[in-house]
Every structure is written in C-alpha cells, then in structure tokens.
Amino acid sequence: MNSLLFTIQQALQLLLYGDTELWSIVLLSFSVSLKAILLTTPFGLLLAFGLHHGNFTGIRFILAFFNSLLSVPTVVVGLFLYVLLTRQGPFGDLKLLFTQSAMVIGQMILCFPVLVALGYAAIQAADRRVWETSRTLGAPTWYTILTIFYEVRFGLLAAVLTGFGRVISEVGISMMVGGNIMGYTRNITTAIALETSKGEFAQGIALGLVLLSFSFLLTAFLSYIQSKKVVIT
C-alpha cells in the first residue's frame, strides 16, 4: 500500500500538471451547482421575505418545516427525485433521469430550505422602518423589497454561499439521478466515490483537495465580509 504522503504527492502532481479529465470533472461540478444555486436564489429569498412580512397563521409551522429540511440526507432527496423521474414515474416522459438537468433540480431542492431559513434570519435583522419609510415615500413593492435585500446583503450572501457549499459537496443526489456518467454527469463527489472504490486514492484525494481549498476560500470570504459588515454598521 502507498503511504499517505506519497498519495498526496501524487494528487498534487495530478492537479498541477493539468490532468484534463480531473479538471473537466471540477468544471462540471461547479457549473451544475452554480446553475442550481442561481436558479433557486430568487425563489428562496422571496419566500423568506414573504414569510417575514406576511401575516398569516402557520408561518411558524412553515419555518419549522424548512428548518428541519436543512438536515435532510441528500440520498433521501435523490431517492425522492429518482422515483419521480424514472421512466415509469409521474415525470418519466420528460426523460430527465441521468442528465445534468436532474442533478440541477435535485440540488435546487437541496439548497431551497437553506436559502429560506438563512434568508429569513438575515431579513429579520433588517430594520422594520426601512419598509415603512420606503412605502411612505411611495416606492413600489418590488423596489422596497430590493432595498431591504440591499440592507441585509451580507446576511443574504452568507445564505447563498452556505447553500452553494451544501450543493457542491453533496454526493447522494448526483449519484442517484446523475448516474456518474463520464464526461456528462460525473462531478467531484461522485468521482471521488468511484476512484476510491477502484483504489485510485490519488485521484480521489486530488479532487478532495479541490473541494477542501474551495470550502476554505468560502469560509475565509464569509468571515471577511462579516468583518466588513461590522465596519459599515
């Protein structure tokens, strides 16, 4: 068996000397997850806003529901989507199973609760008077909403980045509804699972390093903007 150090050295070589297969997997991973988060963000944040400003019974219940969805296992989402998308399932005719679109949809389902729950927390921090002032001055609703979003932009950004972190690192959905097809639906996490099963630890660790350095950057960025926020307010 290879020593750990040797494996890591091999992994770094793969990364540095531009193993095209490896980098195309990384690219695919980011493209799918970016699509998912970008498509979900408007809906998630609007719902969060609606929950905060709306005035109807059951809001607490809905919030609790989304909070509990924060920790739903990704394989459960994958299984749920698989049953819907299989050819004999209710949406079988769309032919979405084992496509990138299926992965995008699954990841959208996964990050939606994150955006709602964390978005809600962020919007809560906004001063209620912003809404009242803006409305009194005659601004239309959409403009007021955007103003509030701008007020709490750092909190919302944190919500979006957390959602992105959740989808880029999930493996259950991608494996189940993506199918790990080489060059088409194989992303970082499913590739790691595959390479590990073949005993190709270097390739797996190389991809793991990409994810790790990404999450490090994300965390660093988050704490940076949070420190900036303190300066502004």
Q: How far is the CB of 24 from another protein (least distance, A)?
A: 14
Q: How far is the CB of 108 from another protein (least distance, A)?
A: 9
Pick the closer one to another protein by CB: 29 or 155. Answer: 29
Q: How far is the CB of 39 from another protein (least distance, A)?
A: 7
> What does the DSSP assignment read for the chain?
---HHHHHHHHHHHHHTT-HHHHHHHHHHHHHHHHHHHHHHHHHHHHHHHHHH---TTHHHHHHHHHHHTT--HHHHHHHHHHHHSTTSTTGGG--TTSHHHHHHHHHHHHHHHHHHHHHHHHHTS-HHHHHHHHHTT--HHHHHHHHHHHTHHHHHHHHHHHHHHHHT--HHIIIII---TTTT--HHHHHHHHHHTT-HHHHHHHHHHHHHHHHHHHHHHHHHHHHHHHH-
Q: How far is the CB of 174 from another protein (least distance, A)?
A: 13
Pick the closer one to another protein by CB: 38 or 125. Answer: 38
Q: How far is the CB of 99 from another protein (least distance, A)?
A: 5
Pick the closer one to another protein by CB: 47 or 152. Answer: 47
Pick the closer one to another protein by CB: 31 or 124. Answer: 31
Pick the closer one to another protein by CB: 110 or 126. Answer: 110
| Residues near another protein (CB under 8 A) | 1-2, 35, 39, 86-88, 92-102, 104-105, 179-182, 184, 196-199
